[in-house]
């Protein structure tokens, strides 16, 4: 696919696109609404947004070469919810990345197709202009030849001695006469022969040198199959397949740590603190009573 130069895809770019979707948190919100939030609860969308905002995204450490994984931390009621939520987030992220690259590729194809169309329009207009320029030059030439032929006939100059030994062939013209000699001195036979020669041209394109190059450029654009080849190459990539994945993920790799122990430690600390405070209070009261005796 990359050899077509329509779109460049690498594992790093796929990962970056997936992480960007995570950072936007839309896929986390959608997954939370589907897995965690009770749709009958009050304002479920707000609950999903609050959950997504509490999710921590930790990038690999740039100073540790062995640290190559992104880590996503969140709290859920159960391990099953955790696996379901992570799998849903990954599935949504893959779908977003896949959709983005397909859209980007189609945009590039449409841009190239439009560029080809514009190029063809320009070349065809250039060809049309070349033909119009030829018609204009030919019309001017014929007008000049007719005028000179008329002048030569008025002077009864059939063929001038100025062109002695020169016979007018198919491609000869009367412009070989010296500039300081009137053209009609060539004689009306030469002018009328050139008029007949010009008017008898069956394919005027043969007399426009630049048309060959223009036609070659038009044919090159018309025969360009790069768009079709790129589309075929793209269809052969995993990006167009149903189970496309942009990252490596296995639900079995999810690590869980229970928050129950932390809660028990917190409760124990509160109870111990309360007990110590109570003992201090009792001892202080006992000392006061002793002094008063």
Q: What is the 3-state secondary structure (H, E, C) of the chain?
A: CHHHCCCCCCHHHHHHHHHHHHHHCHHHHHHHHHHCCCCCCCCHHHHHHHHHHHCEEECCCCCCCCCCCCEEECCCCCHHHHHHHHHHHHHHHHHHHHHHHHHHHHHHHHHHHHHHHHHHHHHHHHHHHHHHHHHHHHHHHHHHHHHHHHHHHHCCCCCCHHHCCCCCCCCCCHHHCCCCCCHHHHCHHHHHHHHHHHHCCCCHHHHCCHHHHHHHHHHHHHCCCHHHHHHHHHHCCHHHCCCCCCCCCCHHHCCCCCCHHHHHHHHHHHHHHHHHHHHHHHHHHHHHHHHHC
Please state the rounded mean pLDDT for residues 280-285. Answer: 56
Task: Note the pLDDT tens digit of each residue in 227-256.
Answer: 999 999 999 999 999 889 999 888 888 888
Please state the rounded mean pLDDT for residues 190-218. Answer: 91
Q: What is the pLDDT of residue 287?
A: 55
What is the average pLDDT score of the chain? 83
Task: Note the pLDDT tens digit of each residue in 2-22.
Answer: 888 788 889 999 999 999 999
Cα–Cα distance for residue pair 71/69, rounded to 1 Å: 6
The model carries a pTM of 0.68
CATH class of the structural domain 2-257: alpha beta
Task: Note the pLDDT tens digit of each residue in 58-77.
Answer: 988 888 877 778 889 999 99
Q: What is the pLDDT of residue 166?
A: 46
Please state the rounded mean pLDDT for residues 174-182. Answer: 56
Q: What is the pLDDT of residue 124?
A: 95
Task: Note the pLDDT tens digit of each residue in 104-161.
Answer: 999 999 999 999 999 999 999 999 999 999 999 999 999 999 999 999 888 888 886 5
Question: Does the pLDDT of residue 275 top 60, yes or no?
Answer: no
Q: What is the pLDDT of residue 274?
A: 55
Q: What is the pLDDT of residue 121?
A: 96
Q: At what angle do helices 11-24 and 79-154 cross, to 10 degrees?
A: 110
Q: What is the pLDDT of residue 214?
A: 94
Cα–Cα distance for residue pair 114/120, rounded to 1 Å: 10
């Amino acid at each position: 696919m990359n050899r077509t130069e329509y779109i460049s895809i690498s594992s790093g770019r796929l990962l970056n696109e997936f992480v960007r979707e995570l950072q936007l948190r839309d896929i986390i919100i959608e997954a939370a609404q589907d897995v965690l939030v009770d749709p009958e609860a009050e304002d479920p969308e707000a609950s999903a947004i609050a959950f997504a905002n509490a999710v921590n995204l930790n990038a690999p450490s740039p100073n540790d070469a062995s640290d190559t994984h992104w880590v996503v931390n969140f709290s859920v009621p159960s391990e099953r919810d955790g696996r379901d939520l992570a799998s849903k987030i990954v599935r949504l992220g893959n779908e977003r990345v896949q959709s983005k690259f397909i859209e980007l590729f189609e945009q590039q194809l449409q841009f190239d197709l439009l560029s080809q169309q514009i190029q063809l329009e320009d070349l065809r207009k250039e060809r049309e202009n070349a033909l119009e320029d030829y018609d204009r030059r030919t019309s001017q030439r014929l007008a000049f030849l007719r005028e000179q032929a008329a002048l030569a006939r008025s002077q009864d100059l059939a063929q001038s001695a100025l062109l002695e030994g020169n016979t007018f062939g198919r491609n000869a013209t009367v412009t070989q006469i010296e500039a300081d000699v009137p053209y009609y001195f060539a004689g009306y036979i030469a002018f009328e022969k050139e008029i007949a020669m010009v008017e008898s041209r069956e394919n005027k394109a043969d007399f426009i040198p630049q048309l060959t190059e223009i036609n070659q450029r038009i044919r090159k654009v018309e025969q360009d199959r790069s768009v079709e080849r790129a589309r075929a190459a793209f269809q052969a990539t995993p990006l167009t397949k149903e189970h496309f994945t942009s990252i490596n993920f296995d639900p079995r790799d999810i690590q869980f740590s229970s928050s129950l122990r932390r809660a028990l430690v917190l409760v124990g600390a509160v109870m111990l603190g309360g007990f110590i405070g109570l003992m201090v209070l009792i001892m202080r009261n006992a000392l006061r009573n002793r002094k008063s005796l």
